[in-house]
Chains A and B, each alone.
Chain A
Amino acid sequence: MLKRTSVGVCLIAAAGLVVGTTGRRVRAQTSERRAGAPTARRGIPTVVGPRGPASVYPVMSAARALNFIEAAERGLDYVPGEVIVKFRSGVTVTGQQRALMALRSRPIVTDLKWISGDTALHRDELEYDAHILSAQLLEQPEVAYAEPNYIRHFQSTPNDPGYAQHQWNFGAIDMPRAWDINPGGTSSLIVAIVDSGITTVSQTFSAYTWNGQAIQLISVPFAISPEFSASRFIAPADFATGSGAQSIVLDLDGHGTHVASTIGENTNNNLAEAGIAYNVKLMPVKVCFGYWDLQFAFSAAGNTGSVPPNAGGCTTAALASGIRYAADNGAKVINLSLGGVSPSSIEQDALNYAVSKGAFVAISAGNCYQPNPACPPGVVNPPAYPASLAANIDGAMAVAAVGPSLTHAFYSSAGPYVEISAPGGNDLEGGISGMIWQATIFPPDSNPSTVIFPRFDRYAEVPYEGTSMAAPHVSGAAALIISQGVTNPAVVEALIKQTARPLGTASGRSDLFGFGLIQPRAALFGFGIK
């Protein structure tokens, strides 16, 4: 069954809560009918299947799911009972064990979940306050740092649905001429989308859920987006459910697919929108989970009822593991469209590691410029993490957002750490036509406020906005630049900065826009002698 559909959505991203209405899409791209540029495209059809036989949906442990639910209910920005500890280099196992004895639960070293050589995650059954656990460990001389396992959230903001279908964002950054120089990047380049995942199989899974009266085993169909093909995925991994490196990743939220679509959905295929680097390989690294990930895990453990709609997110432990995994498996660009307000050393280590392995990292700058339900109450424009870390890492960039008029998007966090701007959408400029439209899972199919039995096998063009949407523009541009032969992440960053179009100030940087609006064509074209 194929039909032309598009939707406008209001996305509360961290929770995966989607409230939307449908509309008819009428859109034709202009000025892109040229060599190397995308052709005009029609509305994306929703897609069903193909699907294989039902398998059991890979869920996280029940205890962990309960921890996330508790975090949502109590408004915590960390996973209760989980602490990340990094031991000083050279500390023996005996020393590590001695340090752990400071905790009331007396954990065993071998029971830790190791993230990297000297960094591990500990789940404590006796103490749920991760700050207390961190403080106890920090007093030990063997410990370099200890911190809660923070929960990061997607950085796209809620908004109302609508009918507009303009991919104004690519025109704003001169993409058609950039594609003239480098049409879509090279297929040997790997871009990792460290996010809620991108569905890599077309298959039906069995999962338990709450039907309002009882726990029920249901069939949940998944399908690969028609804007991707299985051959474009490489080394998918799931650190959100704890599965790690595996061949299957499932996006139950849509955020990761939307971000990936901006970076590199199939282009020149007469379908939906264009992606920036549409030839590159995509590495889906799932480190975030949303409502349905938690609901399935919650119900599978025999718990009755529904999980809070705002439950979910991305732990810093999973995030660090995902970043390291991406760097270790050949990703040369890593996109992080997520963040929080608490600094994390494990993120800093992971970012440094990724850049040292030759990966460029684009990070959303945050959506808390104005009070926002997804931001800490009472705090206006706090520094976002891990974006704030990027300012001190040559090869990682914090990305702010602009709207269609190329002015500051109302939500886009500002500060000295902002390095570059890109289109992130702004519904205050023309409603949803001012947002970023890309293909992702069909939101009404999994809207927890209206759906009991979700499905994830249909796709549509969906408008999002946020610095989450701005970062993939920079990732896609970086992929083109690297495809052009620039391999050093620090050089990629310098090139993007130097060729940016200044905004707000005649030249130089500003806290709102960083060095200005990214100009992929100018970066690819580079410089002559004069």
Chain B
Amino acid sequence: MRLFFKLALMVALALPSSSVCAQERAAVDDLRERGSVSVASDSVQIDTGESLRAVTASKRLESGQPPRVPPAPDALGVRAFGTVDINALTAQSSFNAVLGTSRLTAFGGGIDVLNIWRGLFLRAAVSTTSKTGSRAFVANGQAVSLNIPLTVSMTPVEVGGGWRFLTGTRATPYVGGGGLAQFYSEKSNFAAPGENVSQTNIGYFALGGIEVETVRWLVVGVEAQFRGVPHAIGQSGVSQSFGETNLGGFTTRVLIGVKH
């Protein structure tokens, strides 16, 4: 009930839950002068949220704006984001053989539900990548192209959560993990029925990242993910020749999101 109230209030006031506007910064300065704010290291810690809100409200009144109550820093929020991923795949040799690279760029998006309990957040995200290469043959560890176009597509759907370390600054680091369902396909020219591949693989991911607030509703972030999709390949094809079985890898992700 309390969470719902906070969320409703935040949306009603259109205030970012963790933003500190200029007026609030001025209020902090005032409180510091009054001894109500203690400074530890480089971080600012608010002793009494009520004092801050009172000062902020009084500033708004002085400037002729209607007073409003800012949300608490740990107020429940939602972040919707778009992503650009660089996937460095574990099955390096297999993808190099067919696509000429084992680094694939993916585009996607997702949503985080923030501050479910303190820094806890939940995530659902999806990204997709597709690249066309050529069917190949591996002889003595060397891949030889057969010049038959082959398009590989991967669409992982991530569901998980993590913990955001609320620092009170513009930058918020976070870590997390979860499970993923990866929709994987290979489509070739000249393929007979049954020769194209379309399958869903189950895996996991672990992530760490940092987001930075640029304006009060816009955040950008970078994130590193390790994905594991074991036993997805390796039973046939060039992956069998190379002994590679995992369709996961290391992903570097750039996020651009809006936050409420």
Contact = CB atoms under 8 A, between A and B. Distances in A.
A529 interface: yes
B144 A491 contact: yes
Contact of B148 (A181, A494, A529, A530): A181
Interface size class for chain B? 35 or more
Contacts of A181: 148, 190
A23 interface: no
B57 interface: no
B138 to A, nearest CB: 7
Interface in B107-152: 135-140, 142, 144-148, 150, 152
Nearest to B150: A528
A524 B238 contact: no
Contacts of A486: 137, 144, 146
Interface in A199-215: none
A116 B15 CA distance: 89
A488 interface: yes
A488 B91 contact: no
B41 interface: no
Nearest to B97: A529
B188 interface: yes
A491 B235 contact: no
Nearest to B98: A529
Contacts of A485: 144-147
A524 B136 CA distance: 9
Interface string A501-530: 000000000000000000000001111111
Interface string A472-496: 0000000000001110101100110
Interface in B142-200: 142, 144-148, 150, 152, 184, 186, 188, 190-192, 195, 197, 199
A177 interface: yes
A530 B235 contact: yes
Contacts of A488: 139, 144
A140 interface: no
Interface in A404-430: none
A61 to B, nearest CB: 46
A522 to B, nearest CB: 10
Interface in A156-214: 177, 180-181
Given A177-B192, A180-B190, A181-B190, A526 B139 contact: no
Given A529-B238, A530-B236, A494 B140 contact: yes
Contacts of A177: 190, 192
Contact of A527 (B91, B95, B232, B236): B236
A498 interface: yes
B49 interface: no
Name which of B137, B145, B190, B232 has the most chain A CB atoms within 10 A of its CB: B137
Interface residues of A, number: 19
Nearest to B191: A525
Given A177-B192, A180-B190, A181-B190, A527 B147 contact: no
Contacts of A491: 137, 139, 142, 144
Name which of A488, A491, A526 has the most chain B CB atoms within 10 A of its CB: A526
A526 B148 contact: yes
A498 B137 contact: yes
Contacts of A529: 91, 94-95, 97-98, 152, 186, 233, 237-239
Interface string B195-228: 1010100000000000000000000000000000
Contact of B186 (A180, A494, A495, A528): A528
Contacts of A530: 184, 186, 197, 199, 232-237, 239
Given A485-B145, A486-B146, A526 B137 contact: yes
B135 A526 contact: yes
Contacts of B233: 529-530
Interface string A240-257: 000000000000000000
Contacts of B241: 527
Contacts of B191: 525
Contacts of B145: 485
A495 B140 CA distance: 11
Contacts of A490: 139-140
Contacts of B195: 525
Nearest to A180: B190
B239 A526 contact: no
A464 B143 CA distance: 39
Contacts of B199: 530
A495 B138 CA distance: 8
Given A488-B144, A530-B236, A530-B237, A525 B136 contact: no
Contacts of A484: 146-148
A261 B148 CA distance: 27
A177 B195 CA distance: 13
Given A177-B192, A180-B190, A527 B144 contact: no
Contact of A495 (B94, B139, B150, B192): B139
Nearest to A483: B147
Nearest to A490: B139
Interface of A: 177, 180-181, 484-486, 488, 490-491, 494-495, 498, 524-530
Closest 5 CB pairs of A and B: A526-B146, A526-B135, A494-B139, A491-B139, A528-B186
Given A485-B146, A525-B191, 9 more contacts: A177-B190, A484-B148, A526-B135, A526-B148, A528-B152, A528-B237, A530-B184, A530-B197, A530-B235
